[in-house]
């Protein structure tokens, strides 16, 4: 029996991203036991947002478990080092990278790799129950050191590709129940939108999850030749939130509202981003 199951007196509280742009969309925060998905097409900044969330919680003394599915842990590790506190977080064991990228590939093992500290390698298999047990046991082993934990999954689509849609759905259900609901730990995950083979998977995840953030390119601005990224909250259980689309840009290592001014450039009226 885990520490969480022995002490089930924890209180579900509202927590914030501590990222100004996202907090404006969720003025009262979200329940601490939430499974939240960021859904959108490739290149729309889902992974960047997950990284922002990770670092925001690390600054608040959380431990982050990062399931590397789309990218090899080395790639994620190199990105983390770009953060001014990234190396310190890794050395202190505040970030644990779980290698799911090498799941069915014949890459050399990263176990005991001195170059990449705190890499956990999942044994190669295709049983979703073994993946969930592995992650749950990892969470429980970290809880004795720090009860403040978050889990990042990037991405659910790649997991479905590796183990099959039905098994991936079962995996999400178990992780949501065992980690979010029983242990009061939030999970943030990405999902690629628009892949025809996974349309049913996307619809089921919308139903299962506690929160869904949609990302897209503004369709009106797209017709005018501008790639303007937008985000909206489709649902967050237990929290009031904005229901409209909000344009944003990535600037100065964060996410900001997209503001523009119209200028004449070469005889053409065009929109120029303000405040960068």
Q: Place 95 in a pLDDT band, splitting at 50, 70 and 90.
A: very high
* Predicted local distance difference test score (pLDDT) of residue 185: 97
Res. 5: pLDDT tops 70: no
CB-based burial, 58-79: b 16+ in 10 Å, e otherwise: beeebbbbbbbbbbbbbebbee
Burial of 149 (0-12, 13-18, 19+ CB in 10 A): buried
Q: Which of 172, 101, 93, 104 is nearest to 138 (CA)?
A: 93
Query: What tokens were used for 126?
Result: 């295709």
Lowest mean pLDDT among 22-31, 64-73, 125-134, 155-164: 125-134
Q: What angle do CA 153, 51, 90 make, to 5 degrees?
A: 90
The whole-angstrom separation of Cα 48 and Cα 152 is 12
- Residue 273: is its pLDDT beyond 90? no
Token pair for residue 136? 């749950």
Write 22-29 long-range contacts (CB < 8 A, 24+): 22/49, 22/255, 24/242, 25/231, 25/232, 25/233, 25/241, 25/242, 25/246, 26/233, 26/236, 26/239, 26/241, 26/242, 27/240, 27/241, 28/239, 28/240, 29/239
pLDDT(96) > 60: yes
Confidence of residue 198 (pLDDT cuts 50, 70, 90): confident
* CA 67 – CA 153 distance, rounded (Å): 5
State the Cα–Cα distance between residues 64 and 94, nearest whole angstrom: 6
Within the chain, where are the H helices?
A: 3-6, 20-25, 46-58, 73-81, 86-91, 128-143, 156-163, 165-175, 199-208, 219-223
Amino acid 233: pLDDT = 97
Mean pLDDT, residues 175-204 taken together? 91
User: In the predicted model, is pLDDT for residue 266 greater than 80?
Assistant: no
**Angstrom distance (rounded) from CA 95 to CA 116:** 12
Cis bond leading into 173, ω under 30°?
A: no
User: Pick the residue with more confidence: 93 or 7?
Assistant: 93
Domain ranges of the chain: 3-219
What per-residue confidence (pLDDT) applies to 6? 47
Question: Residue 127: pLDDT band by 50, 70, 90 thresholds?
Answer: confident
Q: How many CB atoms lie within 10 A of CB 57?
A: 22
- Residue 128: per-residue pLDDT: 84
What dotted CATH number matches 3-219?
A: 3.40.50.300
Q: Phi and psi of 186, rounded to 5°?
A: -75, 145
pLDDT band at residue 276, thresholds of 50, 70 and 90? very low
| Res 163 pLDDT > 60 | yes
Q: What is the pLDDT of residues 12-51, one digit of tens each?
A: 999 999 999 999 999 999 999 999 999 999 999 999 999 9
* SS3 state of residue 149: strand
Predicted pLDDT at 111: 53
Percent of the chain predicted with pLDDT > 70:
82
Task: Answer for the pair 237, 244: CB distance below 8 angstroms, yes or no.
Answer: no
Q: In this model, does residue 76 exceed pLDDT 80?
A: yes
Residue range 233-246: average pLDDT?
Answer: 95
115 band by pLDDT with thresholds 50, 70 and 90: low
Hey, what are 28's tokens? 């009262």
Tens-digit pLDDT profile for residues 132-146: 998 999 999 999 889
What is the pLDDT of the chain when averaged over all its residues? 86
């Amino acid at each position: 029996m885990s520490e969480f199951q022995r002490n089930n007196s924890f209180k579900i509280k509202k927590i914030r991203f501590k990222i100004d742009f996202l907090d404006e969309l969720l003025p009262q925060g979200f329940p601490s036991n939430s499974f939240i998905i960021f859904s959108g097409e490739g290149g729309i900044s889902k992974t960047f947002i997950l990284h922002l969330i990770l670092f925001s919680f690390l600054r608040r003394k959380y431990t982050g478990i990062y399931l590397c599915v789309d990218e090899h842990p080395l790639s994620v590790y190199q990105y983390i080092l770009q953060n001014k506190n990234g190396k310190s977080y890794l050395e202190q064991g505040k970030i644990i990278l779980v290698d799911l990228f090498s799941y069915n590939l014949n890459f050399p093992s990263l176990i005991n790799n001195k170059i990449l500290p705190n890499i956990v390698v999942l044994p190669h298999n295709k049983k979703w129950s073994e993946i969930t047990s592995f992650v749950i046991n990892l969470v429980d082993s970290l809880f004795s050191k720090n009860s403040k934990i978050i889990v990042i999954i990037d991405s659910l689509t790649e997991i479905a590709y590796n183990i099959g849609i039905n098994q991936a759905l079962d995996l999400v259900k178990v992780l949501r129940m065992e980690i979010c609901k029983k242990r009061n730990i939030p999970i943030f995950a990405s999902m690629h939108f628009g892949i025809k083979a996974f349309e049913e998977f996307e619809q089921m995840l919308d139903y299962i999850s506690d929160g869904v953030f949609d990302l897209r390119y503004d369709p009106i601005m797209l017709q005018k030749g501008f790639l303007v990224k937008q985000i909206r909250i489709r649902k967050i259980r237990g929290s009031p939130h904005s229901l409209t689309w909000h344009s944003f840009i990535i600037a100065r290592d964060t996410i900001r509202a997209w503001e523009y001014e119209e200028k004449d450039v070469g005889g053409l009226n065009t929109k120029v981003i303000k405040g960068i």
